[in-house]
């Protein structure tokens, strides 16, 4: 498209989907309490922009976005470099959309398989089969706490679509037990021990699940599972090529976002601070200073914080259910990019999440009362900023 009318139409498209990129305020609708606030200091000039992120494209902002985006698909490989200052002038529309974190195009890496009556061979098709009478559901997801919390919207949406289905979860049991707070779980089993570990290299005859969902990069496990007798299989890579991880997992099942949970039942004035994370680069170093500004701070120490030095009360060696109960009853929570931060946000606890090297538009927590402060390096987030965000909760 070289003419001015084409550029104008593309500009209208961008303005309707990304108003804040063009210096305009987002329209926050009636469900704003379910939106995630992201203060992206790297990308935007304002210190606080409501609604930016990826679990929060409200209909009042985006409108009928599928109708706007789909006409672009026939031209995915056409150049758009004449509109934007890209080093490669032949960049395709698909790459451009991915670069802007557009999350509303169905993924190409989701595979649906149905066992055929003859020979048990796998076929594939673009659309999952109807989900009627699927009572026995298998979910395979082996991951850390934070990643699994991002799977919960998809699992809850699937549970809602199936009605009274019972779920068998296979992965890391210590992590998977979180799901029992959100869906009906029949069994939780380890992927590291037989019989499930055998599926990495051979079949397990006699599996009779009505639906199996495998979120795993390696296709061998899913292939052996299908050959073992499961009737319907959905297999997809768990990590997104664009957009937020939670939306990607929903797209693999072609399901809409479910309502965000609200399990927060505060009965204490404690403000929980979790100074840990899976990587030291993700850790904000000023929790002790922040605690001095709070009325009743409590430090939640995980396995990586055994030698954490603080003058504030410390909670140590809690099981995950015990952590869950403390999070749902506290006044508020502050933490780094960690599994416990994801959990606090998702259950509805007022959460301030501190992000540095990780992009929260892809990996940020989801929740009704979650707010993210994002700066690089993470040390540039001031204690005063965090305290102010906490007051806003």
Write the CATH number for 237.
3.40.50.2000
pLDDT category of residue 113 using cuts at 50, 70 and 90: low
Same domain, 331 and 223: no
Same domain, 115 and 93: no
Q: Which of 99, 125, 159 is the last residue before a domain boundary? A: 99
Q: How far is CA 211 from CA 225, 230, 250, in A?
A: 11, 7, 16
Q: Which of 200, 226, 253 is the last residue before a domain boundary? A: 253
Least confident of 2-11, 22-31, 231-240, 357-366: 22-31
Single pTM value for the model: 0.71
The answer to whether residue 158 scores a pLDDT higher than 90 is yes
Q: How far apart are CA 83 and CA 179, in angstroms?
A: 46
The boundaries of the domain holding residue 55 are: 4-99
Q: Which of 51, 80, 99 is the last residue before a domain boundary? A: 99
The number of distinct structural domains making up the chain is 3
Tokens 């009318």 — which residue? 5
**pLDDT for 170-208, tens place per residue?**
999 999 999 999 999 999 999 999 999 999 999 998 898
Cα Rg of the chain, angstroms: 22
pLDDT, average across residues 98-118: 38
Q: Is the dihedral of CA 343, 346, 348, 354 positive or negative?
A: positive
Same domain, 148 and 222: yes
Q: Is residue 264 part of a domain?
A: no
**pLDDT for 356-382, tens place per residue?**
999 999 999 999 999 999 999 999 999
Q: Is residue 205 part of a domain?
A: yes
Same domain, 200 and 124: yes
Q: Is residue 261 part of a domain?
A: no
Mean residue pLDDT across the chain: 75
Range from 14-23, 33-42, 83-92, 230-239 that averages highest in pLDDT: 230-239
């Amino acid at each position: 498209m070289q003419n001015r009318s084409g550029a104008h139409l593309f500009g209208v498209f961008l303005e309707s989907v990304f108003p804040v990129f063009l210096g305009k305020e987002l329209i926050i609708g009636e469900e704003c309490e379910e939106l995630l606030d992201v203060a992206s200091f790297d990308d935007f000039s304002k210190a606080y922009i409501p609604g930016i992120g990826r679990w929060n494209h409200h209909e009042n902002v985006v409108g009928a976005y599928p109708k706007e985006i789909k006409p672009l698909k026939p031209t995915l490989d056409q150049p758009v470099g004449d509109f934007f200052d890209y080093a490669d002038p032949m960049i395709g529309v698909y790459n451009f959309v991915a670069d802007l974190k557009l999350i509303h195009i169905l993924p190409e890496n989701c595979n649906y398989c149905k066992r055929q009556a003859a020979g048990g061979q796998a076929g594939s098709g673009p659309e999952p089969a109807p989900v009627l009478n699927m009572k026995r559901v298998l979910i395979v997801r082996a991951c850390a706490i934070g990643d699994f919390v991002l799977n919960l919207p998809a699992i809850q949406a699937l549970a809602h679509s199936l009605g009274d289905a019972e779920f068998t979860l296979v992965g890391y049991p210590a992590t998977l037990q979180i799901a029992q707070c959100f869906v009906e779980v029949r069994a939780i089993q380890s992927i590291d021990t037989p019989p499930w570990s055998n599926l990495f290299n051979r079949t397990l005859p006699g599996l009779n699940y009505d639906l199996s969902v495998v979120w795993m990069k390696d296709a061998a496990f899913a292939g052996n599972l299908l050959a073992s007798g499961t009737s319907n299989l959905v297999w997809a890579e768990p990590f997104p090529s664009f957009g937020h991880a939670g939306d990607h997992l929903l797209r693999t099942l072609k399901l809409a976002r479910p309502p965000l949970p609200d399990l927060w039942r505060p009965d204490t004035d404690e403000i929980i601070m979790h100074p840990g994370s899976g990587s030291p680069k993700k850790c904000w170093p000023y929790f002790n200073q922040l605690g001095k500004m709070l009325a009743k701070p409590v430090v939640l120490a995980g396995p990586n914080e055994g030698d954490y030095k603080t003058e504030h009360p410390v909670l140590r060696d809690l099981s995950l259910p015990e952590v869950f109960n403390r999070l749902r009853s506290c006044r508020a929570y502050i933490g780094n990019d960690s599994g416990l931060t994801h959990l606090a946000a998702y259950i509805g606890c007022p959460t301030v999440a501190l992000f540095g090297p990780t992009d929260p538009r892809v990996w940020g927590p989801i929740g009704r009362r979650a707010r993210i402060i994002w700066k690089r390096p993470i040390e540039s987030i001031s204690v005063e900023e965090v305290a102010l965000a906490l007051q806003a909760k």
